[in-house]
């Protein structure tokens, strides 16, 4: 019986070559050792002069051939292991990407919070300045109304005595206005 030999491309180190005899029986070259005979006795030298090999040359006493179903199960388990490893690698990669995305989101969120807190502080300072300016404008408005009312009440004929009194009132109003402006400036600087 002549055996033809063909190669299969498996990544497994355990199965290097498979042979098929003319009857269609699958032979992998894997045997379970039952006694202490060496593997060299099991496989003939490929460089020998004899080109025809019998199936008996591959099945010496003390060794049994593995069942093709056992080999198929071993191959399918190897494929399952590789598939499981591939799935595990993909899951690990996806988890790492998710962690990186979550970290980036937290950093962006933290940056937005810091920007909002800074903007809030700036707005509070601006609000304090505007309140001080409003208070100063209200006082100035009161002084201007008092001045306008004082001028409306003055008669067309003004005596020198009335002029002295009017100039004293104006001086008091100017003093009050400068006093308020100085006080407002001090308030703004202290904020």
Q: How many CB atoms lie within 10 A of CB 118?
A: 10
pTM (predicted TM-score) = 0.35
Q: Is the pLDDT of residue 35 over 90?
A: no
Residues 61, 62, 68, CA angle at the centre, nearest 5°?
A: 90
Residue boundaries of the structural domains of the chain? 4-66, 88-190
Rounded Cα gap, residues 89 and 8, in angstroms: 26
- The Cα-based distances of 8 to 95, 109, 130 in angstroms read 36, 55, 86
**Interval 25-37 mean pLDDT:** 44
Q: Of 30, 9, 28, which is closest to residue 18 (Cα–Cα)? A: 28
DSSP 44: -
pLDDT tens track for 141-177: 988 888 887 777 655 555 555 556 666 677 677 767 7
């Amino acid at each position: 019986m002549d055996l033809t030999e063909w190669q299969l491309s498996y990544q497994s180190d355990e199965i290097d070559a498979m042979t098929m005899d003319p009857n269609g029986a699958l032979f992998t070259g894997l045997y379970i050792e039952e006694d202490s005979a060496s593997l060299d006795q099991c496989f003939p030298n490929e460089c020998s002069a004899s080109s025809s090999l019998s199936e008996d040359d591959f099945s010496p006493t003390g060794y049994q051939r593995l069942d093709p179903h056992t080999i198929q199960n071993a191959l399918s388990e190897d494929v399952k292991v590789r598939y499981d490893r591939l799935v595990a690698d993909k899951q690990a990669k996806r988890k790492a990407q998710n962690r990186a995305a979550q970290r980036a989101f937290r950093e962006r969120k933290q940056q937005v919070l810091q920007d909002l807190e800074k903007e809030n502080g700036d707005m509070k300072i601006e609000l304090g300045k505007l309140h001080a300016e409003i208070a100063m404008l209200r006082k100035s408005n009161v002084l201007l109304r008092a001045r306008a009312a004082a001028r409306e009440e003055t008669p067309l004929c003004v005596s020198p005595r009335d002029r002295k009194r009017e100039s004293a009132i104006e001086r008091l109003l100017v003093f009050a206005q400068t006093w308020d402006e100085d006080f407002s400036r001090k308030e703004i600087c202290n904020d």
